[in-house]
A = this chain, B = another copy of it.
Amino acid sequence: MTERIDVGLIGATGTVGRQLARQLRNHPWFRLAQVAASSASAGLAFGAAVVDDIDDAESAFGSELLDLPLREPADIWEPKLLLSALPSAVAGPLEIELAERGHLVVSNASSHRMDPDVPLIIPELNPDHLELVDRQRWRGGLVTNPNCSVVGLAVALAPLHLAFGLDAVSVSTLQALSGAGRPGPSAGAMVDNVLPHIAGEEEKLACEPQKILGTLAGSTVTPAAFRVSAHTHRVPVSHGHLQAVSVRLRQRAEPDAVAAVLAGFKGALGDTRLPSAPAKVIELLADDNRPQPRLDRDRGDGMTVSIGRVRRCEVFDVKFTLLVHNLVRGAAGAALLNAELCRSRELTEQVGAR
């Protein structure tokens, strides 16, 4: 992979878009060539639109990006590969339109995740689902990554599903503020407080993991047959979603065996080397008081899911705590890793050619 190819970034000024812009800086395979944001900031330079962070801007984004003009998302794009960090409200029809125009759209938006012909991918778990793109009805293609909480959960569930079979999962999350985008909850609402509800989040946790761990058969994915029930909470943490997980397995297993399977998980990428893939997909922590958001979110540059406290569950079989960096592994890094997977499979060359 000796040559960098151009990519476009849609929704560049939101929380996830900015993080993608940071991670695309000096990326070995991709060069950020065009950026778009909502109409409100179209016409501005990227640097002007993130002006309240201007002191950081150059070191965070690089000086070249600061001068790039923000385009309208529906404009004509030059790069074949487009990364989408759009809010779901606007991503729906636009991503389809761009795929129809021949682009390969790699999206973090929730709009099309559950569409039958759209793969929902975590490269270390279900890279084979990428074949769905070949059967899509558009000249281009559309690939999605899961919700930020789902990424962490699915990574932890995958080896257990493989080893023991999953029957039911109960998960309770303590989610960070950056998961709410900009501006997110007000500081006044979060002082001496936590919030018991995140709109739409529990529904995603209840269905996305089964599609990711499902089986590709012909032109569709048969979801894995386990149930997920979620309670979601917002806590005053900047980054890092903590999740308390209880699991009922199809084949009984002791906590030690479960821990060994988690610790030994290699993922499904085999020899494929992707620049943003961490050395360890999962890191198992020994200390009883870990993982913690501030101490553990940056493991593997934010791409490693930390798991601790694997122990017997009085109701199900086993329970544990996991932590996922919602903004990296759960969003920008998830989309970027998917884009890398697409390039490694030469999808970026194939789409649009058909």
Q: A residues within 8 Å of B by Cβ?
A: 52-56, 168-170, 172, 174, 177-178, 180, 182-197, 199, 206, 227-229, 231, 233, 235-238, 242, 244, 246, 285-296, 308-309, 313-316, 319, 321
Give the chain B neighbours of A168 by CB distance below 8 A. Answer: 315
Q: Smallest CB–CB gap between A263 and chain B, Å?
A: 14
How would you classify the secondary structure of chain A's contact residues: helix, strand, loop or mixed? mixed
* Structural contact, A231 and B246, CB atoms closer than 8 A: yes
> Could you say how many copies of this chain the assembly holds?
4
Pick the contact of A244 from B188, B196, B287 — CB < 8 Å? B196
* Structural contact, A308 and B184, CB atoms closer than 8 A: no
* Structural contact, B314 and A228, CB atoms closer than 8 A: yes
Interface centre among A52, A190, A193, A321 (most CB of B within 10 A): A193
Decide yes or no: A174 and B188 within 8 Å by CB, A55-B295, A229-B246, A236-B236 being known contacts. Answer: no
Decide yes or no: A244 and B233 within 8 Å by CB, A178-B188, A292-B193 being known contacts. Answer: yes
* Structural contact, A192 and B229, CB atoms closer than 8 A: no
- A46 to B193: give the CA distance in the assembly, Å: 25
Pick the contact of A191 from B182, B197, B231, B237 — CB < 8 Å? B237
Residue of B nearest to A167 (CB): B315
